[in-house]
Amino acid sequence: MIRRLLALLSIAAFAPGAWAADALTGAVQKQPLNVSAILMFVVFVGATLCITYWASKRNKSAADYYAAGGKITGFQNGLAIAGDYMSAASFLGISALVFASGYDGLIYSIGFLVGWPIILFLIAERLRNLGKYTFADVASYRLGQTQIRTLSACGSLVVVAFYLIAQMVGAGKLIQLLFGLDYHVAVILVGVLMCLYVLFGGMLATTWVQIIKAVLLLSGASFMALMVMKHVNFDFNMLFSEAIKVHPKGEAIMSPGGLVKDPVSAFSLGLALMFGTAGLPHILMRFFTVSDAKEARKSVLYATGFIGYFYILTFIIGFGAILLVSTNPAFKDAAGALLGGNNMAAVHLANAVGGSIFLGFISAVAFATILAVVAGLTLAGASAVSHDLYASVIKKGKANEKDEIRISKITTIALAVLAIVLGILFESQNIAFMVGLAFSIAASCNFPVLLLSMYWKKLTTRGAMIGGWMGLISAVGLMILGPTIWVQILHHEKAIFPYEYPALFSMMIAFVGIWFFSVTDKSTAADNERALFFPQFVRSQTGLGASGAVSH
């Protein structure tokens, strides 16, 4: 049991989504109807639909639809990135992890944060200067459009699909816990709402949904942390010593537990978290919503600040739950376990510090959080199909804007239907590995091609294509052969690939593949692509010729 739990915890470490998705896998107990939470959620939905209506009046061109006209400020974009990144799973999951094992929760949150400075230093400004709507714009800048756009669009769609399924199933489980409503209600509700936001409001509405959610989540979490600190007279020493007294693990909660087993797994996980973030299509797309490289840099600064602050809050909230929730019999069942499971630690704490109204608020925010994340994912998936596959691959860059947006809207509807169907199909499946897989694929396919296209002069279409596919296939293959799928889901005796996280190996395969098939490419097309590196380099550095804000 403990072994299984540890294994699950370490999978959960892969991504915020994995945690809740996993912890909420299997039968969850439906809670009694929570009327105040439902009312507050209805208010949130009403407000976001008004914003969607407002945004739909302002959306006129493709640039408006995909990139909010490039008119989002660095500060707004920083909040929206934070809103995109702080999932319900990271709020409930990390505070639950702190609640259950203390310090380990902090270790995981750090893994999610350290990728951001690297994105700023190495990627953000070049990405903004070279791209227009999707990261494939950048990856295929001087390479064969058909091959590289197809690769990047497939990489994006696979990442989006796995991430979406995890979010949909998570939403279904959450609604049972938080609102006391049925699983299918959540899946259909989320599918319909995300479709409305993206269909009518495009990037502008999606951005504002993410901003509002980030503000609500950050203020709710701040209030909870403040009340916890007030309880211990703003003395950290007292917070920790009181927690040690009441926690069954005692002093062990103040040091690393056994979650990171060996250095290879630890590094592989670290790489997936760090570089996976830099390959997530919905995150990369956010960089095209600001006017220039200066604002793009500011976005990362604000995003890092908000996300870091949020993780510190969840740490305090987790310890607060040890103090105020684990000691209160009202939050426990007869066996002494937390009502609704450990993922409810933060939700019960909301009740303990703010009463039933605040409990309703936090439940509504936790659910609203999922909407913000899935809207971003859907838009990224729809853009990959319309901008990359339709406009560039099928129409060879000669599509008119109207048709392109129409394709994007059709894709949005298709994605919503698909997400609802998959959400229902996967209700009782173990989907914990999916977000982990999404991060591994992003780190092994999208990221290497994107990075080398900006940094390495000798990259050719052949190298990027073969290496990129090798990364994608090896990430999926090693994940299937590893302990998570091979042993836990397919019930084989022993895993063929011994590590849970493939990123260390699949990234190496991708980089070596890209390098080898590029340097051995002696074709004239390859020479032309190498010659095009310098104009690209000048643009990436100076922003000369980059697309800016659109004025009406």
Partner 1 sequence: MNDSIYLSIQNSPRFKELVSKRERFAWILSAIMLGLYSGFILLIAYGPQVLGAKINPESSITWGIPIGVGLIVSAFVLTGIYVRRANGEFDDLNNAILKEAQQ
Bridge partners, residue 332, by sequence: 338
Q: CB 61 → partner 1: shortest distance, Å?
A: 21
The CA-atom distances, in angstroms, between 130 and each of 123, 450, 543 are 11, 11, 8
Q: CB 536 → partner 1: shortest distance, Å?
A: 9
Q: Which of 41, 66, 116, 288 binds partner 1 (CB under 8 A)?
A: 116
Q: Is 394 in the site for partner 1 (CB under 8 A)?
A: no
Q: How far is Cα 445 from Cα 1, in angstroms, rounded to an integer?
A: 35
Q: Which of 266, 416, 420, 450 binds partner 1 (CB under 8 A)?
A: 266
Q: How far is Cα 160 from Cα 156, in angstroms, rounded to an integer?
A: 6
- Token pair 């399924």 is found at 165
C-alpha 266: how far from its chain's center? 20
Q: CB 238 → partner 1: shortest distance, Å?
A: 8
> What single string gives the DSSP state of each residue in 117-144?
HHIIIIIIHHHHHH-SSSHHHHHTSSS-
- Please count the residues of this chain forming the interface with partner 1, following the rule CB under 8 A: 50
Q: CB 245 → partner 1: shortest distance, Å?
A: 9
Residue 121: Cβ-neighbour burial (10 angstroms; 0-12, 13-18, 19+): exposed
Bridge partners, residue 338, by sequence: 332
Q: Is 110 in the site for partner 1 (CB under 8 A)?
A: yes
Q: Which of 8, 62, 161, 300 binds partner 1 (CB under 8 A)?
A: 300
Task: Return the structure tokens found at 279.
Answer: 């390959």
Q: Are 486 and 495 in contact (CB under 8 A)?
A: yes
**Which one of 152-160, 213-221, 262-270, 321-329 is the stretch in contact with partner 1 (CB under 8 A)?**
262-270
- Residue ranges in 212-241 that form contacts with partner 1 under rule CB under 8 A: 236-237, 240-241
C-alpha 158: how far from its chain's center? 14
Q: Which of 53, 490, 542, 548 binds partner 1 (CB under 8 A)?
A: 542
**Which one of 200-208, 304-312, 371-379, 465-473 is the stretch in contact with partner 1 (CB under 8 A)?**
304-312
Q: Is 473 in the site for partner 1 (CB under 8 A)?
A: no
Q: Is 122 in the site for partner 1 (CB under 8 A)?
A: yes
Q: Is 294 in the site for partner 1 (CB under 8 A)?
A: yes
Q: Is 125 in the site for partner 1 (CB under 8 A)?
A: yes
Torsion-angle region of 233 (φ positive above 0: left; ψ -120 to 50: alpha; else: beta): left
Q: Which of 301, 414, 512, 549 binds partner 1 (CB under 8 A)?
A: 301
Q: How far is Cα 437 from Cα 479, in angstroms, rounded to an integer?
A: 7
Q: Is 173 in the site for partner 1 (CB under 8 A)?
A: no
- Residue ranges in 86-105 that form contacts with partner 1 under rule CB under 8 A: 103
Q: How far is Cα 273 from Cα 284, in angstroms, rounded to an integer?
A: 15
> Which residue ranges make up the site for partner 1 (CB under 8 A)?
103, 106-107, 109-110, 113-114, 116-118, 120-122, 125, 236-237, 240-241, 244, 251, 254-256, 260, 262-263, 266-267, 270, 274, 294, 297-298, 300-301, 304-305, 308, 311-312, 534-535, 537-539, 541-545
